[in-house]
């Protein structure tokens, strides 16, 4: 299963990067989300897989008994997912605002800073 997850992570990375190289801003945002997924899966996989054994301490016991999944990567991923969402939400709204102001989502038309396009003053 590690192999399968490694391949899926690779595919997600490839898709994320491919999307980030597009000219359409929406696709770049999709790419950003994919990179987030890929990074999370990578941390998860590299932290070793453990099927069906969440990191819980049984009722009455003082500590968890092997086998159980490593809790640390999970904690890191949780933080990453939430922050990633913050970034995504901001990017999506930023995109909306950009589109409303400039009337385009082509990144090539947004190369110059602090100047609105001539035809849309």
Partner 1 sequence: MSILLAIGFLASAIAPLLHRRFRENFGWIALIFPLSMFLGLLWHYPTVAGGMVVRESIPWVASLGVNLSFALDGLSLTFAMIITLIGAAVFLYAGAYMKEYPDAGRFFLYIGVFMTSMLGLVLSANTILLFIFWELTSISSFLLIGFNHQRESSRKSAIQALLVTGGGGLALLAGFILLREVTGSFEIADMYDMNALITAHPLYPAIVVLMLLGAFTKSAQFPFHFWLPNAMEAPTPVSAYLHSATMVKAGIYLVARMNHEIGGTPLWQDTLLATGAATMLFTSVLALGATDLKKLLAYSTLSVLGTLMLLLGIGSPLAIKAFFIYLIAHSLYKGTLFLVAGTLDHETGTRDVRRLGGLRRAMPITAATAALASFSMMGVIPLVGFIGKETVYKSILELDTWGIPLIAAAVTANAFIVMVTLLVGFRPFWGKARATPKHPHEAPLKMLLGPGLLAVLGLLFGLFPDLFISTLLDQSALSILSEKIGLKITLWHGVNMVLFLSLATLLAGGVAYRLRNALQERLDGFRAPALMKPSSWYEALVGGMLKSARLQTALLQNGYLRNYIQIVLITALSAAAYALYQAADRVRIVPDVSITFYEAALGIIIIVATWMLVTSQSRLKSIVALGVVGFSIGIIFVIYGAPDVALTTFAIETLNVILFVLVLYRLPKFVSLSSTSNRIRDAIIAGSAGLFMTMTILLATSFDLSSKLKEYYAAASVPEGRGRNIVNVILVDFRAIDTLGEITVLAIAALGVLALLKPGPEEGRRP
Write out the binding residues for partner 1, residues 67-96 only, by CB under 8 A: 68-72, 74-75, 77-79, 81-90, 92-96
67 preceded by cis ω (within 30°)? yes
Q: Which residues of 29-58 are buried (b: 16+ CB within 10 A; e: fewer)?
A: bbbbbbbbbbbbbbbbbebeeeeeeeeeee
Q: Which of 32, 64, 114, 119 contacts partner 1 by CB under 8 A?
A: 64
β-pair partners for 24: 106
Write out the binding residues for partner 1, residues 4-43 only, by CB under 8 A.
Answer: 4-24, 26-28, 30, 33-34, 37-38, 40-42
97 binds partner 1 (CB under 8 A): yes
Closest separation in Å from C-beta 33 to partner 1 = 7
Residue 103 sits in the site that holds partner 1 (CB under 8 A): no
């Amino acid at each position: 299963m590690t192999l399968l997850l490694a391949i899926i992570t690779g595919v997600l990375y490839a898709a994320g990067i491919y999307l980030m190289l597009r000219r359409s801003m929406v696709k770049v945002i999709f790419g950003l989300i994919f990179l987030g997924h890929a990074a999370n899966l990578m941390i998860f996989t590299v932290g070793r897989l453990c099927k069906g054994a969440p990191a819980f301490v049984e009722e009455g016991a003082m500590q968890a008994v092997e086998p159980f999944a490593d809790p640390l990567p999970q904690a890191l991923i949780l933080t990453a997912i939430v922050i990633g969402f913050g970034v995504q939400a901001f990017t999506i709204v930023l995109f909306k605002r950009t589109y409303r102001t400039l009337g385009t989502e082509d990144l090539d038309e947004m190369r110059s800073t602090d100047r609105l396009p001539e035809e849309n003053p």
